[in-house]
Chains A and B, each alone.
Chain A
Amino acid sequence: MFWNLACLAVVAALASGLLPVFFSRSDAAVRTVAFGLLGLSGLAGILGGGGALLGGLTITRVLPVGLPWLHSHLRLDPLAGFFLLLVGLVTLVAAMYGPAYVRQYEEGPQPLLPLTLFTGLFVAGMNLVLLAADAFSFMIAWELMSVTSYFLVAYQHQHETHRRAAFIYLLMAQVGGLFILLGFGVLAGFGGGFDFAAMTAAQVPAKWATIAFLLAFIGFGMKAGVVPLHVWLPQAHPVAPSHISALMSGVMLKVAVYGFIRFVYDLLGTIHWQWGGLALFVGSASAVLGVLYALMQHDLKRLLAYHSVENIGIIYVGLGLSMIFAGTGHPQLAALGLIAALYHCLNHALFKSLLFFGAGSILQQSGEHDLNRMGGLIRRMPVTAVCFLIGCISISALPPFNGFVSEWLTFQAALQGTALKSGVLGALIPVAAAVLALTGALAAACFVKVFGVCFLGLSRSERCSTATETARGPLLGQVLLGLLCLLFGVLPTWTVGHLETVARQFLPEGMPEATAQGWLWLTPISPRVASYGAPLVLFGIGLAWLLAWLWLHPPHRKMPVRVGPAWDCGFGPLNARMQYTATAFTMPIRRIFGPVWPIREHFRPASAEEPRGRYDLHIDDWVWLKVYQPIGRLLLATARRLALIQGGNIRTYLAYSFFTLLFLLLVVSL
């Protein structure tokens, strides 16, 4: 049954893309059918994936499609089920969110149809990647996912920035796909077949295994967006429609993480600790650089995109720790790291999509994407504000919400670094923990900025002061995600108990201790080492709150609250321009970590032509300036050299063909 549900998730997503083509006249019909079927796909994904995860099932099917000598192998196992559940969750909410959100495009220059068509194909592609059990189907599904999402990023292609972002995204997706293909090639060479069962069984020499690992690391890392392969993210996410950003950031990046886990834990099998070291290093760098760059952004969706880099970094830190422990013979600790990473995948999918949906609502209702022009939205959009606040608390890893649990588990894994014999690793893992701590604190700073500047204070623009609350569908979706953020934060023991199924699939031991103390207590290693009673935390805060409130509001006594103007130091009325902006808020951090960013700051004092003075601040990305631009220039220069052979003369071209033919004949005859 779960298998049928998983298939239904794929088929419904395909149908949601293709069916509206037949009645493209009516926008309302397109919306209803496309998003209805998308919701069905999401629901089926949740049920099918959740069932496979909870039941610990592995279902394998061979479909007679594909190459003549390679039928399409499909498999639903707990790992695939878990990620199917993630895709399903966010797809379902996107389907609730979409109908009201896409209304703004109906008056726009584009028809609605491409958006729904490619959204359906995109979701189907993601689901197929998770179900694929041979390299051929995997790559087809992977490319379906990449190419359709290119069209989604390029949806509003009348803007030059959108076209550029989409092109960079496509370029990097294709290069990444190439690396993944080569990685599969190595394994297929040793395994003698393209299906995953043969690859798992293959005896790969250590050298080749490392080569395959590196290829997969780069390939999947490019999609997941680890530093320095992240440059497409901050360009593509802001320009895509918001529900697509939520899907891309919330789950497509997770599909890349899934591919990485599948490749390393399942297909390669024997893990070397050095690989874990690389993942840990890259993950730490992504986490801290992601959050530092995010702090400096004032475009809301771009800021969230950099936070995806940060969170993917945290996931990679968990995976790196897990691989180090697995490579040095500590299967229980390896399970802890893997579960921390998987838990963070779930959490990031929930809170990041929630934040993107919230950002989309703000964009739709106020037309603003620049934080420095927002303000006071909590009074105009209260429900969105509360949901957004939950997202902010969750992503800042604050208890009792979900982001905290996975970071806590990652810390617990890092603190077990002393179990390792190697002194170097033992000293490096705590440094990774330090980086993680810095990341968490900076993320909290960043989201104080986001929520404070966006929702609190006075409105900084006309449109924000007249914005209204968004429609019921988007609100319902966001409330659902907000509740899930709280639920997975308060019931970590239950969640970890089920994620253990995935860990047991690849590692000889799970974490029996983690859930041994009942549903109230999460004790990853043992109760003596560390425990976290998340439900009690929520209860304790509630109790203390209640007691304080009852004490301050005794019965039969009025507790008046007088409303007056804010304190203005006696100088006259305050205005919105006196508030701290997003740029001002992070100025101390900008000054402290100065060399991290290429900052161009320009100040012109008041003069005749600029009566109020002018301050300009541009913050770029070092990786873009120092790595990608030189590569781009080199490529263009090389292309220009090679263009010499392109003379435009038909006879020259015929000569080329002739000599090529001669050369090939020579090769064949040898």
Chain B
Amino acid sequence: MKGWILAFVQTGLFVFGAPLLAGWVKWIKCRLQSRQGPPPWQPYRDLRRLFNKEVVIAESSSTIFRIAPYLIFSVTVLASSVVPMVAIGLPTSAIADVIVLVGFLALARFFLALAGMDAGTAFGGMGSSREVTIASLAEPAMLMGVFTLAMTVNSTNLASMIGFLLNHPFQLYPSFVFAAMGLVLVAVAETGRIPVDNPATHLELTMVHEAMILEYSGRYLALMEWGAMLKLMIYGVLLANLFCPWGVAVDFAPLPLVAGLAALTGKLLVLGTALAVAETGLAKMRLFRVPQYLGLAFILCLLGMLSHVILEVS
């Protein structure tokens, strides 16, 4: 019972912490670009504003358009509930392993792409087409990356993976290095950050995610935006806890939990800063350069897997 309560609390933390991470990245980025920038808690204000606004939907849109925000948001929330954030051993993490997690994100994307095509505008179709193209290259790379870890610990369960790494003395596996590099590239592509997509753009030729949600407004838009922030947080927590698991609580005593939360916050702030630095230093790629970028991610993950099979299996 305690486990379930903790799981709910952790999911709540995840959901309500996600806007802060997005705000943090934006604030650091503005600072790096010598701009004043909105405060890190600005996303909360934006969401609140959107929730209170009237919804306008296109007359050519169908039911898909109206259920998609709820579905995307709830699937992403469920996805976030299975990712071990401050503690492992929570009952929710047994619901889904990492393959199912990728499946959740794919389900959300499926409906996001459909919602983009629903109103029958050129932008929506353009965004959907680009999104599924990028995803169809990123998803296998992501699975390859996590399979590398899964083969090392002989488990696809996220909690088991983190538990294994915590229980064993630190060892630098070559396969992990490759997988980490690959997964970072995938995470940038999947969360729609520079250099693959630009969350701040509204320029027709470069939009991907923004093109799909162009027709949304009011609370629907808020749910879509929140879903995207959650996705960023999911990838952040995954990278932080899989490749740097120290600090994650292994039991449910108060002190380790607080320490776990503090450690995770620190790790996410560092990751967010790194993302802001990268976004400031890099320019957005052309769409047809993205396959090379994701091909690199795939090759890195494949190399990780092969180096595991060749070097690490005894």
Contacts and interface: CB of A to CB of B under 8 A. Distances in A.
Interface of A: 375-376, 378-379, 382, 393, 396-399, 404, 408, 411-412, 415, 417-418, 423, 426-427, 430-431, 433-434, 437-438, 440-442, 444-445, 447-449, 451-453, 455-458, 521, 527-533, 536-537, 540-545, 548-549, 552, 559-568, 574, 576, 578-580, 584-589, 591-592
B219 A445 contact: no
B120 A574 contact: yes
Nearest to B118: A456
A402 B298 CA distance: 27
A544 B117 contact: no
B74 A541 contact: yes
Nearest to A566: B58
A574 B71 CA distance: 28
Contact of A457 (B55, B63, B120): B120
B111 to A, nearest CB: 9
Given A537-B100, A568-B121, A579-B121, A426 B309 contact: yes
Contacts of A444: 106, 109-110, 132, 135-136
Contacts of A408: 99-100, 103
Nearest first, the 8 closest Cβ-Cβ pairs linking A and B are A580-B125, A457-B120, A452-B117, A544-B74, A566-B58, A445-B132, A437-B140, A441-B139
A578 B95 CA distance: 43
Contact of A584 (B97, B124, B129): B129
The SS class assigned to the A binding surface is helix
Nearest to B143: A437
Interface of B: 51, 54-64, 66, 70-71, 73-75, 77-78, 81, 92, 94-97, 99-100, 103-104, 106-107, 109-110, 113-114, 116-126, 128-130, 132-133, 135-140, 143-144, 147, 150-151, 154-157, 160, 214-215, 219, 223, 287-288, 291, 298, 302, 305-306, 309-310, 313
A529 B129 contact: no
19 contacts: A378-B63, A378-B64, A412-B99, A415-B147, A415-B156, A441-B135, A449-B132, A452-B117, A453-B117, A456-B118, A457-B119, A531-B97, A532-B100, A537-B96, A548-B77, A561-B66, A567-B121, A567-B215, A587-B129
B215 A566 contact: yes
A533 B55 contact: no
Nearest to B65: A456
Contacts of A456: 62, 64, 114, 117-118, 120
Contacts of A529: 154-157, 160
Given A397-B103, A418-B313, A580-B128, A530 B305 contact: no
A566 B139 contact: no
Nearest to B288: A591
A545 B71 contact: yes
B91 to A, nearest CB: 9
Contacts of B109: 444
A564 B59 contact: yes
A105 B313 CA distance: 63
A404 B70 contact: no
Contacts of A431: 302
A452 B106 contact: no
Contacts of A536: 95
Nearest to A433: B147
Contacts of A579: 117, 120-122, 125
Given A417-B151, A537-B95, A548-B223, 10 more contacts: A415-B151, A438-B136, A440-B106, A441-B106, A448-B113, A544-B75, A545-B71, A561-B54, A561-B56, A578-B121
Contacts of A566: 58-61, 119-121, 215
Given A393-B107, A418-B154, A585-B129, A564 B56 contact: yes
B125 A584 contact: yes
Given A441-B136, A445-B136, A521-B94, A580 B129 contact: yes
A241 to B, nearest CB: 29
A152 B309 CA distance: 50
A423 B214 CA distance: 50
B178 to A, nearest CB: 13
A376 B310 CA distance: 52
A430 B114 contact: no
Contacts of B215: 566-567
A549 B96 contact: no
Contacts of B117: 448, 452-453, 456-457, 579-580
A399 B104 contact: yes
B157 A578 contact: no
Contact of B130 (A440, A533, A588): A588
Contacts of A457: 60, 117-120, 125
A588 B133 contact: yes
Given A544-B73, A592-B291, A430 B118 contact: no
B207 to A, nearest CB: 13
A545 B310 CA distance: 45
